[in-house]
Structure 1
């Protein structure tokens, strides 16, 4: 019988600082956020799902030693334990539905057609401006949550460049600090999954085979 992993040690304290920043951004969107941790081959992958973006956010960190781990924990408790390179693994929690549907570990291939970072950041800024303008133009009787959600879905489901990647994935990457000027990015696919990869983290989402995208089981 294997002994549960009680603690993890990252390769250096900068890995802990970067991971803390990621967790802090997730908690900003959902105070009760959970994250799934997977460790193996000297690396730790942390998966989270920021509300409204309908994507998975993935942050990786190098470990000082190789351990095997797969557990879902509270993002807040994990953040509190990250005071240095070595930290305690919080108690497991009942995972939300998305935690059971993760991207594959291998089989990714790069896709063409992705704009550069500056163009994607400009597209997000233009979309935010458009949403605010259309929201302000709504007559009082139509200024409802349902109408605002409809406008948001229309804007953020638009695809980026010559790809099938929805703009909301780019918005998520920028909001989580992944999409930084001058950094290389790539769009990858594996089966029904798309992944926007940056040096600071990835955004993944699953195609449902009928033109839409989802991160929940069919």
Structure 2
């Protein structure tokens, strides 16, 4: 098994926490790994949010495995989590699995440009808290006969599809960032970028990428 040497124990702990959160939403979650040089990108898709989550992990030394100078493989998130050794700051690469459809379509690597209008990290957390409270209030107001899964899903879609101000970024992307540990109270700043049909919310702890509505399939990158 190929062993990845992570930069330090903190990187290993953060990787383990990210994988654990993905598995909370999908016990059979898969992740796509891409490593080159001293950078490892871990892509996951928590089904509840309909976004792509990206955790960047620093490696202690450039990736190398025989004649291969880069790594690109889809693996089980649970099996990867089992290989993470926080004390040794290492992780093993499990055997490849047949990836879900999203793993074949990733955001572009380049061409990103900064977008304005994004509130601060504190304001985004407050926005999510307010919307969660709204969802609870609206569902509690439903009579027993109307409190069906279809109606709850309808309310959820209506709420989480709302854009953050004029940015076009859906609230579900911000909610996902918080749920996956990317939008913490200690987050120094958040940034928004666009490339083709994609928007990317970036923090120091990870990124959330989402397709912009109404732009068809343009801007997709199949690797």
- On whether the aligned pair clears a TM of 0.5, the verdict is yes
Output the CA distance in 1 between the equivalents of 2:90 and 2:53: 23
Instruction: Show CA shifts across 1:135-183 (max 9, x none).
Output: 1111122111110000000000011122000000000000111112352
Kept in 1: contact 2:162–2:171 (CA 8 A): yes
- 1:92 is aligned to 96
- 1:130 is aligned to 134
Kept in 1: contact 2:168–2:212 (CA 8 A): no
Which moves more between the two structures, 73-82 or 199-208? 199-208
- 1:150 is aligned to 154
Stretches (4+) displaced over 2 A: 207-211
Correspondence list, 1:1-218, <5 A: 6-67=2-63, 68-83=70-85, 84-181=88-185, 182-210=187-215
Aligned residue for 2:114, secondary structure, equals: strand
Aligned residue for 2:73, secondary structure, equals: strand
Which sections of structure 2, spanning at least 5 residues, go unmatched? 64-69
Give the TM-score normalised by the residue count of structure 1. Answer: 0.92
Instruction: Show CA shifts across 1:27-64 (max 9, x none).
Output: 11111110000001310000001111000010011112
Q: Note the C-alpha offset of 1:210.
A: 4.7
Give the root-mean-square deviation of aligned CA atoms. 1.9
Aligned residue for 1:66, secondary structure, equals: coil
Output the CA distance in 2 between the equivalents of 1:123 and 1:145: 25
Output the CA distance in 2 between the equivalents of 1:14 and 1:164: 34
Output the CA distance in 2 between the equivalents of 1:136 and 1:12: 46
Which sections of structure 1, spanning at least 5 residues, go unmatched? none
